[in-house]
Structure 1
Amino acid sequence: MIKTLLIFLLALNINAVAQTAEKPLNEKPALIPMPQQIEWKKEWIALKNYKGIVVESASLQKEAELLQRQLKELGLIIPIKKSAAPNKPSIVLELGKVSTLDSSSEEAYKLNITASAITITGAGKAGLFYGLQTLKQLIDSGKNVKACNITDWPSFSWRGYMIDAGRNYQPMDLLKQQIDVIAAYKLNIFHFHFTEDIAWRLESKLYPQLTAPETMLRNKGKFYTQKDLKELISYCKARHITVVPEIDMPGHSAAFKRAMKTDMQSDSGLVIVKNILKEFCDTFDVPYLHIGADEVKITNKNFLPEVISLVEKQGKKVIGWEPGGEFTESTIRQLWIEDATKVSANPKVKYIDSRHLYINHMDPLESVVSIFKGKIANLDKGNDAALGGTLCVWPDRRVNKPEDVFMQTSVYPAVLAFAERSWRGGGQPDWLTYVGLDGSKEVNVFKEFEHRLIKHKNRYFSKMPFPYQPQAHLKWKFYGPFSNQGDLTKQFYPEETNDIDTSKAALTAFGGTFILRHWWGPLVKGLLEKPEENTTWYATTKIWSDKDQLQNFWIGFNNISRSYASDSPNEGTWDNRKSQVLVNGKLIPPPQWKQAGAKGNLELPLIDEGYEYREPTKVHLKKGWNTILVKLPVGSFKGKDWQNPEKWMFTVVPWL
């Protein structure tokens, strides 16, 4: 089990040796999540100097073997010993007390690196495992390790990642890849959503018809056997991750109805559900069962009370979506829109925050910014009620192949941002979608994180989708509002002059994606404090080029949610707002859309509608400074329908 993790974690280090330039000696390693306390020393120490992995307790043999294989992947053969040899540097693994400011968590650890010893002390085995993940990141491409002293612990006990494999099936190897990634970044919950209206994807020995191909609307015949789920649970346990399975009920259950010829809330349906739950609880060794229970009209008032009672009697804790059904106080709530006031007002109710953590609704650059800047549960750290948060990936729309989920949604960049925030805590209130205004401290804070993020992209994700480009260096000036009176083609001062007076800028901000007004405004805060309908704004920036060249760009004006049946852009347009982008006065034409004008359909996969999964736009840059002008008109904020909301935005970013 652990071997597969090492292949991911450490083979990627081998890639890094070939691809990463040698760093200056005074550059610090890029750690994600950044530890709570760290004291850097000056030295870089060759790993080959350490002659043994020392574990006095036989109970830590697996951890020692994990480290041994990790080092072997780097070409270092270091034996495991019960004690250190005199005057020979060693790597010591141990359990012990870890004194922290505000945590008694077994996930805490200390890591001390000197020329004489590397010592990792875990408050529990999970803490020791996390110390090993940090050690991995401290090793450079020359097999040297940075001397330092770290004391670290999580701010939230629940650091989750959720994938919906009910709508779009994902094979076991891809699930394990995701588990390996979240383990490397200290997440500890794998929320597995595998039943849906589209398909029921978990084998039942009692009711094999649940997974019959004819009951499925997509990926017919694709499901997880009981053996598969047991394997995933074991795979996660080896990485200190808890699996939270979700059997959605009584809503999102059309596949159940097709298979069983009855509604879950009918008397006969409830009997079947209870049998399924007993089978599940008897079969799988997990502490939680998520029952969903949202987006459904409750017609049987006994359904949820009886289901919750049964599951709890089987020794499992119940989790449900909030808002959702009428739950008992013992039910853990997972917030998806509720703003943490009604639930958090009751100290007896435990909850998990997933508000503003549905990355299928987000632009790639927006997702990293929003998650990094966000404040989980509106708190700096967790407590007995506010357990933490879960990052959610809901690919509602059909995809051509499972890997498309990770190209069309910025999954791994978002995971790293969420790992930073859920481990370190803190953040800012509200949902904030751009890097920051000129002069604000938050710009530099994000720049520092983005620097680490890009290093991880290059080092660990060279063979996996990682749709993110640096954006924090881009400085834009915004001009407006200009009243267009509903004429989206109307021209105004910034496009009528070759020399814009920068003193007329209404504001200056950093970033590559700007949402002037979100479709969920004002709950989600866009760039404009008071956006107005029937107005036009302009944005300008300058980009330096060392030579005349064709430069790849990400350019887009309408990030289509992977959860809506949104229309594809019309031929010859960037979007439905007549948006434009000009470089050195030359209009950049929109892509030749493969599905131009296609009406929204959840069964019609997206192909090139988003800049992150289509061929980049090639832009001619001249030697020297190049001026980019973006025109951003808008009419009504009311979208064509709920599937086509008006998200007034743009993305312009060069590939670096």
Structure 2
Amino acid sequence: MEVKTLVTYFLVLFCHFTASTQVAVPQFSDSLFSTYYHQRVSHFKSLPQTQSDIIFLGNSITDGGEWSEMFQDLHVKNRGISGDNTAGVLHRLSEVYNRKPDKVFLLIGTNDLAKGISPDSVIKNIRWITTILKEKSPNTKIFVQSILPVNESFNKFGGHTSKKQQILSVNKILSTISASIPFTFLDIHAALADSTGRLDVRFTNDGLHLNGAGYQKWKSLIEHKMYLLPSLLPFPKQLAWTRQLFLLKTCKTIYYNHSSLKREAVFLQKQLAKNGFKVNITSKKDPKNTCIELLLSKSPANHLPVEAYQLRVNTEKVSLSANTAHGIFNGIQTLAQLQVGNVIQGCEISDSPAFSWRGYMVDVGRNYQSMPQLLQQIETMARYKLNVFHFHSTEDIAWRLAVKKYPQLTAPKTMQRQQGKYYSSAEIKQLIAFCEERHIEFVPEIDMPGHSQAFERAMGVTMQSAEGLRIVKEIIKEFCETYRVKYLHIGGDEVKITNSNFLPEVIKYAESFGKKVIGWSPGGNLSDQTIRQLWMGHEPILKDYQYIDTRHLYINHLDPLEAVTTIFHRKIGDKDSSDTHSLGATLCLWHDRNIQKEQDLLIMNAVYPSLLAFAERTWLGGGETNWITNVSASDSKKAAIFQAFEERLMAERYRFFSKKPFPYHPQAHIRWQMFGPFNNKGNLEANFSPEHPKFLETNPLTNLEALGGTIVLRHWWSPTVKGVLPNPLENTTWYAIQQVWSDTDTTAFLWLGFNNISRSMATNVPNSQQWDERFSKIWLNDDLLEAPDWKNGNQKPNLELPLIDEGYEYRKPLLIKLKKGWNEIKVKAPVGSFKGKDWQNPVKWMFTALPFFE
């Protein structure tokens, strides 16, 4: 059968199966396939009919892998045939689905493309394969792997290596449709490609097939899918999985070899007890009963050995060693993630952090948080190995730190919000102790001389006056003598310094109590030895000082989806890891606006998704030099790395955050075709060709592609922070189109918004039935989606008016109807001037459109 005829035959059969309620299994003439094909199929049929296997299905690239040996598992079976294509897989598929395999890893398509079969036909046949597999073996988990990159420089397999663009097209579509049809897409292309997108010469000797290093790389990319290995976040620096399992039900004793580890042993004992496993702890080693050992010993680490640890898990025992108790504690957090039910997955881990300062800050001056909510956040910090809790306790709104000598500071009449809510000495001590048990540094901040109007209302003087300075020193004295803390943060920013001696005297006085002082930069006249906390994005780093990076790490300004991508890609302090000057970073929750309930702080600012992204980046280091807001659509490697992180993020969400606010849904699979710019000449309601129904059917060439649920076209802090447009222009309109596949007529949810309002500004609410003040629009299958009737729409915005429904993450998601097949979401995003009405209403040229099914 000629190639053209074969393609036509594929399409006819595909149409037949999509129109049927039951999938028809195709039959092809045996003459279409090679002698080797028939030899292999005959051999497969003669083998024992085992069940619940893991099957690798594909062509010569699969055929060449010694899969059972690589994974040391006889249940892993090779069903690769050299030269095979999608028709060949369909023809022999019964031999696979009759075995009712546990998992199938499919890699097919490169031979189809080499024969001139179009990417669309390859996609349809892969969908056909997966649909038949799912119908005939419903419990089989199906993984469709991306077609591998090729490299023409070897001057071999020219028919294959000339199909680079077609390969990318197939992979792109597979990634797009995988969210809505019965397979999981695995992008292995990106990790096997070099910087030019070709198959890396390290992994091949002919430009098409893999060598030993290539197969080992492939194995490492899919291993976590093979055996449902636990999700680890932050990811360890060095990790090797084994096939061994440690059964917790056989564990009787936790042994620790040094008295300094008793607290960690008790902590682990309590953690296991919460999961139903009761074990004893002892400092006397008994080889017969010991199953978990905590060992203080020399653990190799080139960087930050104080927090390094090594963890080994096999069938006999769990061995955790470190240089310090802090390192042991870090290892315990990893151990908790390795546990799934009664089992701890076998592995060998050698790990240490990139940055010594991995902090999280809460502003309880503006909005009080209860002790249970604070402890919950600290507990989450500990789980993900963050080690600094920055407690901003005083503000213009309210002074919330009890001072025995000056009780008027916390009198209800001096507070403008949550009157009478403050933290007693006992509560501060509880916070310090709770942090200390988890190796978290408690860093209190008493902001001075700025942000001190509550002080002025209570004391009747300004801080910078002689009397004010005297009182401040008394407060510092009482604080330092009451609480055992290493640091004191004095603020020092956003104020006109009228007394040049104020900050130097305060710093010197705090240092006299043995405290290390931190201040905001830019700010007042700090001493050389004061640690600078950087907060403005355009400020250069002062290399002669120690500093903590907080630039563009204010989650109160960030859209929840943008926050995760921005933080994940961030290069902390412009460094790959900490050094004598760059300590690390702090993620900040500055929620200036009043709230209805304290949980709004966690929901509106996506605290937990952001915290996990921050934990990953500060532990691993690295990141991107430029500050970016979106997933890269042009760099498949970067996109694949983010998607792998997102999978771990979601695993953590489902495992540990089922009862906590976690406003995040997967977005790495969402791909937008962008069309523009169209010159609207200042008329934001002007219409252009992409608004025409069935616009995509005219086969327009996209001007740009973008990935993600939130797309920032131009950031309000541009050019410091980059949006997706390389050269954004005023008075222009862009259109974005997303394709969503649905196997049936159904309903789904949609997160939808056009101006994620900062929680620190009195931002205008759009008029009723408008998504924003730029006349943005959105269509689903050419039907216009109407904006809500905003609850605060008729109110003059101010910081005392709580947000109610302005953000997609805290209003009910839109319920949408999807038809069977492809659905089109089309967004219109016009902009006029980039200059906002005032500082509280910057132009946030962005949109969010994220469909999901849960």
2:298 is equivalent to residue 115 of structure 1: no
Equivalence map 1:435-584=2 (5 Å):
435-500=631-696, 501-584=698-781
Whether contact under 8 Å (2:538, 2:720) holds in the other structure is: no
Q: Cα deviations across residues 185-229 of structure 1 (Å, max 9, x unaligned)?
A: 100100000100000011111111111111110000111111111
Whether contact under 8 Å (1:199, 1:255) holds in the other structure is: yes
Q: Which residue, 238, 244, 250 being the options, matches 1:49?
A: 250
Quick one: distance in 1 between partners of 2:303 and 2:315?
29
Quick one: distance in 1 between partners of 2:480 and 2:247?
50
Shift of 1:625: 1.3
Which residue type is aligned with residue 655 of structure 1?
F
Equivalence map 1:336-375=2 (5 Å):
336-337=535-536, 339=538, 341-344=540-543, 346=544, 349-375=545-571
Counterpart for residue 838 of structure 2:
641
Quick one: distance in 2 between partners of 1:339 and 1:133?
36
Quick one: distance in 1 between partners of 2:374 and 2:287?
45
Shift of 1:24: 6.4
2:422 is equivalent to residue 226 of structure 1: no
2:246 is equivalent to residue 74 of structure 1: no
SS at match of 2:673: strand
Whether contact under 8 Å (2:673, 2:706) holds in the other structure is: yes
Whether contact under 8 Å (1:295, 1:324) holds in the other structure is: yes
SS at match of 1:201: coil
Whether contact under 8 Å (1:569, 1:609) holds in the other structure is: no
Shift of 1:518: 0.9
SS at match of 2:625: coil
Equivalence map 1:30-49=2 (5 Å):
30-49=231-250
Q: Cα deviations across residues 393-443 of structure 1 (Å, max 9, x unaligned)?
A: 001000011111111111110000000001111000122100112443211
Counterpart for residue 162 of structure 1:
361
Whether contact under 8 Å (1:88, 1:116) holds in the other structure is: no
Change (3 A) 1:269 1:103: same
SS at match of 1:632: strand
Quick one: distance in 1 between partners of 2:245 and 2:632?
35
Counterpart for residue 96 of structure 2:
none
Q: Which residue, 492, 499, 508 being the options, matches 1:293?
A: 492
Quick one: distance in 2 between partners of 1:533 and 1:602?
29
Which residue type is aligned with residue 600 of structure 1?
P
Whether contact under 8 Å (1:555, 1:653) holds in the other structure is: yes
Quick one: distance in 1 between partners of 2:476 and 2:724?
47
Shift of 1:618: 1.1
SS at match of 1:319: strand
Q: Cα deviations across residues 273-293 of structure 1 (Å, max 9, x unaligned)?
A: 111111111111101100000
Q: Which residue, 780, 801, 806 being the options, matches 1:604?
A: 801
Q: Which residue, 617, 625, 632 being the options, matches 1:421?
A: 617
Equivalence map 1:4-43=2 (5 Å):
26-43=227-244
SS at match of 2:603: helix
2:470 is equivalent to residue 274 of structure 1: no
Equivalence map 1:94-105=2 (5 Å):
94-100=295-301, 102-105=302-305
Whether contact under 8 Å (1:89, 1:116) holds in the other structure is: no
Q: Cα deviations across residues 350-390 of structure 1 (Å, max 9, x unaligned)?
A: 11000010010000000000000000000000001100000
Shift of 1:509: 1.9
Larger helix proportion of the pair: 2
Whether contact under 8 Å (2:399, 2:410) holds in the other structure is: yes
Counterpart for residue 216 of structure 1:
415
Quick one: distance in 2 between partners of 1:641 and 1:591?
25
Whether contact under 8 Å (1:89, 1:115) holds in the other structure is: no
- Structure 1 unpaired stretches of 5+: 1-20
Quick one: distance in 2 between partners of 1:440 and 1:328?
46
Q: Cα deviations across residues 325-359 of structure 1 (Å, max 9, x unaligned)?
A: 11111100000015563412x1xx11100001001
Counterpart for residue 139 of structure 1:
339
Quick one: distance in 1 between partners of 2:612 and 2:527?
34
Pick the structure with greater CA Rg: 2
SS at match of 2:508: helix
SS at match of 1:249: coil
Which residue type is aligned with residue 543 of structure 1?
V
Change (3 A) 1:44 1:592: farther
Which residue type is aligned with residue 137 of structure 1?
Q
SS at match of 1:248: coil
Shift of 1:631: 0.6
Shift of 1:33: 0.3
Deviates more, 1:226-235 or 1:351-360: 226-235
Change (3 A) 1:281 1:88: closer
Counterpart for residue 533 of structure 2:
334
Q: Cα deviations across residues 28-52 of structure 1 (Å, max 9, x unaligned)?
A: 2111100111111123332223342
Shift of 1:59: 3.4
Quick one: distance in 2 between partners of 1:585 and 1:394?
40
Quick one: distance in 1 between partners of 2:422 and 2:282?
45
Which residue type is aligned with residue 413 of structure 1?
P
SS at match of 2:480: helix
Greater length-normalized contact order (CA 8 Å, ≥ 6 residues apart): 1
Change (3 A) 1:520 1:340: closer
Shift of 1:79: 2.5
Whether contact under 8 Å (1:485, 1:534) holds in the other structure is: yes
Change (3 A) 1:261 1:530: same
Equivalence map 1:586-597=2 (5 Å):
586-597=783-794
Counterpart for residue 3 of structure 1:
none
Whether contact under 8 Å (2:716, 2:843) holds in the other structure is: yes
Counterpart for residue 181 of structure 2:
none
Whether contact under 8 Å (1:569, 1:598) holds in the other structure is: no
Shift of 1:82: 4.0
Deviates more, 1:636-645 or 1:87-96: 87-96
SS at match of 1:436: coil
Shift of 1:494: 1.0
Question: For this pair of structures, how many residues does the alignment match?
Answer: 631
SS at match of 2:490: strand
Whether contact under 8 Å (1:340, 1:377) holds in the other structure is: no
Tell me the C-alpha RMSD between the 2 structures: 1.6
Shift of 1:568: 1.5
Quick one: distance in 2 between partners of 1:312 and 1:295?
23
SS at match of 2:446: strand
Change (3 A) 1:590 1:145: same
Which residue type is aligned with residue 478 of structure 1?
M
Whether contact under 8 Å (2:255, 2:290) holds in the other structure is: no
SS at match of 1:420: helix
Whether contact under 8 Å (1:375, 1:428) holds in the other structure is: yes
What's the TM-score once normalised by structure 1's chain length? 0.94
Quick one: distance in 2 between partners of 1:336 and 1:104?
25
Change (3 A) 1:305 1:650: same
Whether contact under 8 Å (1:323, 1:338) holds in the other structure is: no
Shift of 1:260: 0.6
Shift of 1:593: 1.2
Quick one: distance in 2 between partners of 1:541 and 1:338?
32
SS at match of 2:506: helix
Counterpart for residue 586 of structure 2:
390
Which residue type is aligned with residue 276 of structure 1?
I
Whether contact under 8 Å (2:246, 2:316) holds in the other structure is: no
Quick one: distance in 2 between partners of 1:359 and 1:42?
40
Deviates more, 1:241-250 or 1:498-507: 498-507
Which residue type is aligned with residue 364 of structure 2?
A
Whether contact under 8 Å (1:52, 1:89) holds in the other structure is: yes
